Structure 1
Amino acid sequence: MRLLSYNIDEKLIACIEDIYITDIAEDVEDATYHSEVRNYNLILIKENNIFACKEILKKINSQVTAVIIITDNNSKEFELELLKLGAISILKEPVSNEFILAKIESIHRENFKNVIPFKNGYKINIQEKSFNHDQSKVYLTGKSFAILSYLIKNKHRPPISKDELLHAIWDEPEMVSDNVIEININNIRNNLKKEFDENFIETVRHRGYKVIPN
């Protein structure tokens, strides 16, 4: 998963940089630019200027990107307008890193779990990089495992596009052809089919991929 941060405590970022690919904006203009050219699962910014916040919110797809704004601005209008534009939470200063981290976890709860159940007793183990059922396990390496875990974490959403997968998983998505997604999807299917004799991933034409529900 991918995170854009601006003006955020380094200690907080250190707590989550193993969970999110993290882009750190240099200033609010840089944050606005990044929110336009990359797809993010989470944008975390500290900003008091409502116009700057609105510019960022205009660039994102709120169905994919959760935006948390930390601010010293106590105006109720500030909060209401940004929530209406798609921000998921406005946190008023002073606010502790512990509270912010809890808020992030509440939004992407499965991203903080080590073992994620899928269906019919299947589960994915993040630490082992394995897909399990009873005593059977398939170990997937590199991006193949990252793609499968991302699809399972987002199993309740509509199909996930190749572009979203690239931005969520690769450090430099602009440098990668989307054909690499198809290669990894085929690798996942072949490995899981061999072990479990099932296909777990559906290709939705012109839309992307989705794990097959119960």
Structure 2
Amino acid sequence: MRLLSLNINKEVLDYIIENELYICDDVSEIDDAIYHSEVRYYNIILVKHNNTKYLKQILKYVNPRQTAVIFLVDEISKEEELELLKKGAIDVLKGSIPNDLLLAKMKSIHRENFENQYIFKDKYLINKEERSISDNKNNKLVINGKPFSILEYLIKNRHRSAISKEELLDVLWDDPEWVVRNVVEVNINIIRKGIQNTFEENFINTVRHRGYQIV
């Protein structure tokens, strides 16, 4: 999962990074935030800025069905707030926002991302600390490195019709522009082989010309 931030409290970012909740791109200027929102995919965008003209530019480049955008402002009129919400912001937080409230807002959006373990398909337990998946028959598969990150990302986005290779690269690699393009396919094959050997099942479907989907 990937996060874009501007002017967000360092304690919040440190907590996110230390707990490996998101890969964080923390920028220092609003122009950089606008640029990043245009060229890279993000699961969540946190921006603290008071000029709604720039905030609307960020919304212009994101798909609100895929990217949760939260704006933090010191003051804003009701009309401006409504306009940002209508254009796709999921929330506009005003005034001094406590760290625990901001983290709670984030957790309400990506609840599974904040849990160390969770159930998938009513019989598989995903354990983030062990980087493992186990079933109700005590079969267990430990998946190290990027294959686990890819599997977990697909599971967390199982409600979507397909996740493209480009999105997986953008979200899960620090510098996707330097990564060999077939690296996603290689990792998907590792995941499929492990799942097939351990559970005799394959729940990653290839959607032609679109990417991958959990089934």
TM tier, shorter chain? Answer: over 0.9
Task: Tell me the SS of whatever aligns to 1:157.
Answer: coil
Q: Aligned partners of 1:116, 1:65: CA distance in 2, in Å?
A: 22
Counterpart of 2:180?
177
Corresponding position: 1:167 with 2:175: no
1:12 alignment counterpart: 12
Please tell me the residue identity of whatever aligns with 2:101. Answer: F
Aligned-partner Cα distance in 1 for 2:37–2:58: 6
Tell me, in whole angstroms, the C-alpha distance in 2 between the residues paired with 1:142 and 1:154: 19
2:118 corresponds to which letter in structure 1? Answer: I
Map 1:67-78 → 2, pairs under 5 A = 67-78=69-80
TM-score normalized by the length of structure 1 = 0.96
Pairing 1:186–2:209 present: no
For the structure 1 residues 9 and 201, does the alpha-carbon distance in structure 2 shift closer, same or farther, using more than 3 Å as the test?
A: same
For structure 2, list consecutive stretches of 5 or more residues without a partner in the other structure: none
- Count of residue pairs brought into register by the alignment: 212
Q: Does residue 68 of structure 2 align to residue 66 of structure 1?
A: yes
Counterpart mapping for 1:81-100 below 5 A: 81-100=83-102
CA–CA distance in 1 between the matches of 2:181 and 2:191? 16
The 8 Å contact of residues 117 and 126 in structure 2, kept in 1 or not, is answered as yes
2:13 counterpart letter in structure 1? I
Q: Tell whether 2:130 aligns with 1:136.
A: no
Gaps of 5+ in 1: none
Larger mean CA deviation between 59-68 and 103-112 belongs to 59-68
Shift of 1:126: 0.8
Q: Which residue of 2 aligns with 1:157?
A: 160
1:147 aligns to 2:140 (yes or no): no
Provide the C-alpha distance between the structure 2 equivalents of 1:41 and 1:20, rounded to a whole number of angstroms: 9
Structure 2 length-normalised TM: 0.96
Deviations 1:84-140 (A, max 9, x none): 111000001122111111000000111011112111411211111111013110111
Partner of 2:23: 21
Q: Secondary structure at the match of 2:130?
A: coil
Aligned mates of 2:15, 2:35 — CA distance in 1: 25
- Name 1:54's counterpart in structure 2: 56
Root-mean-square deviation over aligned CA pairs: 1.0
Counterpart-to-counterpart distance in 2, 1:178 and 1:162: 8
Q: Measure the CA separation in 2 of the matches of 1:93 and 1:172.
A: 34
Identity in percent: 53
